[in-house]
């Protein structure tokens, strides 16, 4: 059996440091102004996974000195009702950040619901305004998972300028913004997806690979370029990522584990951006 040569990118440890910094900022803001940052979480229906995610986010908020206000809506909620609820949170001066837990059910126009989030409260980075800001390199909140990926790359001092970055997946809140953020940092970015032909040969060119497809072990270890940095943003049943970890780790220089890589950073960015929103609101 061969041995892993890659260094693990420890998202759990980096997330812990990030949350500690965030908690210190939240405490300082509260001490200085009396304002406690507040994240509103909106949950539609009772999908068990969504319930768990929201509860986890609320627990993390509490530990970081962030209040959370939870809004639960029945599964039968209409688009209009959801938009009105989120609009009210957007207008509420006591709420600094808004998270709409995805998915919201097929009868709801999710885009309309996302767009009801005021850009200055879009700490989850899901609105069109946030997407465009990422694309143009303008101030704004980033999508949390891509933002977590960039923090991981920076923490491990991965040079991006001129590097070949391959993003596998093109979702609106993961693949697409991840590519735009990497492009904004001067990487040469290729987007691959379900219609890509000859994926292997493209993955083999990647100095930096971001896997974001949601298919277990979809990326084969033999396709990893020796020395590549492998970011696995997939999280499939059984704690399995989108990359076939063991053989990939034999070739990569740096690789994120699943779990304990990208996942913890996603929530860390959510918390950090909530405190940032509160700071901007108070100033």
- Catalog residues that contact a second copy under the rule CB under 8 A: 111, 128-129, 131-133, 135-136, 138, 161-162, 170, 172, 176, 179-180, 183, 186, 188-193, 195-197, 202
- Smallest separation (angstroms) from a second copy to the CB of 5: 25
- Smallest separation (angstroms) from a second copy to the CB of 174: 13
- Smallest separation (angstroms) from a second copy to the CB of 10: 29
Mark whether 220 is an active-site residue: no
> 3-state class of 145 per DSSP?
helix
Mark whether 101 is an active-site residue: yes
- With left for phi above 0 and alpha for psi between -120 and 50, is residue 266 left, alpha or beta? alpha
Mark whether 92 is an active-site residue: no
Going by their DSSP bridges, the two strands 38-44 and 67-73 should be labelled as: parallel
Which is nearer to a second copy, 11 or 169 (by Cβ)?
169
Which is nearer to a second copy, 131 or 141 (by Cβ)?
131
Q: How many helices (H) and strands (E) does the chain have?
A: 10, 9
Which is nearer to a second copy, 74 or 139 (by Cβ)?
139
Q: Map tokens 């033999």 to a residue.
A: 222
Q: How many CA atoms lie within 13 A of 178 on its CB side?
A: 33
Catalytic residue among 58, 121, 122, 124: 124
Alpha-carbon distance of 232 to 209, in angstroms, equals 8
Q: Are 169 and 262 in contact (CB under 8 A)?
A: no
- Smallest separation (angstroms) from a second copy to the CB of 79: 15
Enzyme catalytic residues: 57, 101, 124
């Amino acid at each position: 059996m061969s041995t892993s040569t890659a260094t693990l990118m420890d998202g759990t440890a980096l997330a812990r440091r990030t949350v500690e910094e965030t908690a210190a900022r939240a405490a300082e803001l509260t001490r200085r102004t009396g304002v406690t940052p507040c994240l509103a979480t909106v949950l539609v229906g009772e999908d068990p996974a969504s319930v768990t995610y929201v509860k986890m986010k609320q627990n993390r908020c509490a530990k970081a000195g962030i209040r959370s206000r939870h809004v639960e809506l029945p599964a039968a909620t209409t688009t209009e009702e959801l938009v009105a609820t989120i609009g009210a949170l957007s207008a509420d001066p006591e709420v600094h950040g808004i998270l709409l837990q995805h998915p919201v059910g097929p009868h709801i126009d999710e885009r309309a619901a996302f767009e009801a989030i005021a850009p200055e409260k879009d700490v989850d980075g899901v609105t069109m305004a946030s997407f465009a800001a990422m694309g143009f390199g303008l101030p704004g909140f980033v999508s949390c998972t891509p933002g977590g990926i960039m923090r991981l790359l920076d923490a491990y001092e991965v040079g991006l300028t001129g590097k070949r970055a391959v993003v596998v997946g093109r979702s609106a809140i993961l693949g697409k913004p991840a590519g735009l953020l990497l492009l904004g940092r001067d990487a040469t970015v290729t987007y691959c997806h379900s219609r890509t032909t000859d994926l292997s040969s493209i993955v083999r060119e990647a100095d930096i690979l971001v896997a974001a497809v949601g298919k277990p072990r979809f990326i084969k270890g033999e396709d990893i370029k020796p020395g590549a940095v492998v970011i696995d943003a997939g999280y499939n049943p059984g704690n399995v990522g989108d990359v076939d970890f063991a053989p990939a780790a034999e070739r990569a220089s740096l690789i994120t584990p699943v779990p304990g890589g990208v996942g913890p950073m996603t929530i860390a960015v959510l918390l950090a951006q909530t405190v940032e929103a509160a700071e901007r609101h108070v100033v």
